Amino acid sequence: MFSEDVYILKESVFDMSEGTDFEQRAAEDKAIRSHLDLIGRKILIMSGKGGVGKTTVTINLANALVDSGCTVGILDTDLHGPNVAKMLGCEAGILQTDDGGNSFFPVQVRPGLKVMSLAFAIPDRDAPIVWRGPMKMAAIRQFLAQADWGELDFLLIDSPPGTGDEQLTVCQTIPELTGTIIVTTPQEVAILDARRSVNFSRKMGVAILGVVENMSGMICPNCKQELPLFGKGGGKKMAQQMSVPFLGSIPLEVSLMEAEDAGKSFLSLQPDSPSSLAILDIARTINSGTACSTSRPTDFMGTATCAPSACSTCSSNCSSRKGV
């Protein structure tokens, strides 16, 4: 599986040699390709700001897609705070390896849903996880090269906040990335950071599948009325201003947070709640494949430069990311 010096905590700090030689990198690229070729759509979930609900959107979207008959993998690239396993209730999962120890099999959470997270490789969940930039890149590439997902309809890639090493590595390592989903809360400070995520996707030449406004109003657990805790509508307005699709608004519900803390599926517990209905709607849009940035970035000749697999209307002309 992983080489020992990568993931074994040494005095609370990961120790790992930086950089790889050319042959190793080429072999890794080949392995990455062979695994990713079996996967349909690969989607990066990102936000400029922390705590706005990337992981919430990722796991609930995954459950919704699985409920509709898709096979889904979740890759947790949050290397400092890998929360996916906890929120899915599969923290005790064990990564199995193949006979040669060259590949490992992501943890099966339920039929149709698999997860790969650093959480499965860390014995002490309270230990601080400290990485230097190049190590993160190597770790994510190692995840992609060694994880044997088998065939999947979707790979949802959860990421930490910001536009840093993790997002950059995903975009550069998965040239046929279908697109990004940008999660924000409605208030100005979150919107400002979300705009950076939109511009990051554009700069990387990756299509933007759309913006999700999370914590969009709070549903009072008693009277069920909606309160504008963080405001409402900021994400939608930003999406319109930046000419990217708006995927939907998920209200804040205390029971959603409780379900995630308990590692249970909120969609199963409360399928008719406003948040569940919003999530199901977003999943339908993603699954239908109609969501794509309406203002795709162009090169100096005006040719669309979004990911070829992202959009049926431009895929035949779009060559910007081929061979990246």
> Using CB under 5 A as the criterion, what x/- string covers residues 36-55 for binding Mg ion?
------------------xx
Site for ligand ATP in 98-157 (CB under 6 A): none
Q: Are 50 and 168 in contact (CB under 8 A)?
A: no
Quick check: 293 binds ligand ATP (CB under 6 A)? no
Using the rule CB under 6 A, which residue among 88, 115, 250, 282 binds ligand ATP?
250
Residues in binding contact with ligand ATP, number by CB under 6 A: 22
Give the integer Cα–Cα distance in Å for 17 and 15. 7
Determine which helix (DSSP H) or strand (DSSP E) holds 25, and give its type and residue range: helix 22-36
CA-CA distances (angstroms) from residue 1 to 7, 101, 105, 132, 148? 10, 5, 10, 21, 11
Q: Could you give the CA distance from residue 155 to residue 146 in angstroms, rounded to a whole number?
A: 15
Binding partner selected for residue 113 from Mg ion, ligand ATP, none, CB under the kind-specific 5 to 8 Å limit = none
320 binds, among ligand ATP, Mg ion, none (CB under 5 to 8 A by kind): none
Supply 13's token pair.
């700090």
Give the x/- contact pattern for ligand ATP in 49-78, rule: CB under 6 A.
-xxxxxxx---------------------x
Question: Which residues in 158-177 contact ligand ATP (CB under 6 A)?
Answer: 160-161
Considering only residues 54 through 113, tell me which ones interact with Mg ion, judged by CB under 5 A. 54-55
Alpha carbon distance, N-terminus to C-terminus of the chain = 27
Half-sphere exposure of 62 (CA within 13 A, CB side): 34
**Residue 281 corresponds to which amino acid?**
D
**260 touches ligand ATP by CB under 6 A:** yes
Kind of pairing, strands 152-158 and 39-46? parallel
CB 211 within 8 A of CB 235: yes
Q: Does 275 bind ligand ATP (CB under 6 A)?
A: yes
Binding partner of residue 93 among Mg ion, ligand ATP, none, CB under 5 to 8 Å per kind?
A: none
Q: Which residues bind ligand ATP (CB under 6 A)?
A: 47, 50-56, 78, 81, 83, 160-161, 214-215, 250, 252-253, 256-257, 260, 275
Q: Which residues bind Mg ion (CB under 5 A)?
A: 54-55
